Amino acid sequence: MGAGKTYVQIHKVGVKDIFDAKYKSRAIAAMQKAVEEAVDGSSRLTRVAPKDKGPAVGYSLDASLVSLAPDKAGTKLEGKCAMVISSLGKGMKAMPAGKAAATVASAAKIDSGDVDGVTRSAAASAMKTAVQYMEQHAP
């Protein structure tokens, strides 16, 4: 672990509600990658577990894609995600959320690129708040 960096333990993300189950694993992978990239992009956070003996000090991050579905008109794909930041062994600290949308030709023409883009954007939106919180507060 880098000197002065705060450890962030990222749990596997989940999906609560998605318009088509065939995209579930793809959405999970896109969101997981966006969360990891946000932590890796911070000069003050790390995903590398401390090698010290004893209980780890840092944050635990749980994330879920709350919903991913076309709007009622079928012209937008909308995504919402929620996260929970906890201090390791000490309880919940913050609950950032994010959302994103992309215009689509029709609900029937949504493809994997649309799913990836909206999912990553929603996660990145929440991670801006999450990273800011973790950088500014001690675990």
**Where would I find the H helices in the chain?**
24-40, 112-136
> What is the structure's pLDDT at 45?
96
Q: Structural domain boundaries of the chain? A: 6-136
pLDDT in tens, 31-40: 999 999 999 9
* Residues of the chain above pLDDT 70, percent: 98
Q: CA–CA separation, 17 vs 14, rounded Å?
A: 10
Q: What is the CATH number of domain 6-136?
A: 3.40.50.10610
pLDDT in tens, 82-126: 999 999 988 899 999 999 999 999 999 999 999 999 999 999 999
| Bridging pattern class, strands 45-46 and 58-70 | unpaired
> What is the structure's pLDDT at 34?
97
Residue 36, judged by CB atoms within 10 A of its CB (0-12, 13-18, 19+), counts as middle
> What is the structure's pLDDT at 4?
80
Q: How confident is the model at residue 3 (pLDDT cuts 50, 70, 90)?
A: low
| Bridging pattern class, strands 76-87 and 97-103 | antiparallel
Provide mean pLDDT across the span 11-27.
Answer: 96
Closest to 15 measured CA to CA, from 34, 37, 36, 30: 30
Closest to 129 measured CA to CA, from 80, 84, 90, 87: 84
DSSP letter assigned to residue 18: B
Count Cα neighbours of 82 within 13 Å in the Cβ-side half-sphere.
7
